[in-house]
Amino acid sequence: MANTKSAEKRHRQSLKRRARNVNVRTTVKDAVKSAREAIASKDGSKTTDALKAASKTLNKAASKGVLHKRTAARRISRLAKAAAKAKA
What pLDDT does residue 50 have? 95
> Residue 64 and residue 9: Cα distance in Å, rounded?
21
User: pLDDT digit string (tens) for 20-71?
Assistant: 999 999 999 999 999 999 999 988 889 999 999 999 999 999 999 999 999 9
| pTM to 2 decimal places | 0.87
pLDDT single digits (tens) 4-24: 999 999 999 999 999 999 999
Distances (CA, A) of 55 to 8, 50, 52, 58, 75: 37, 9, 5, 5, 8
pLDDT for 1 equals 72
pLDDT at position 2 is 79
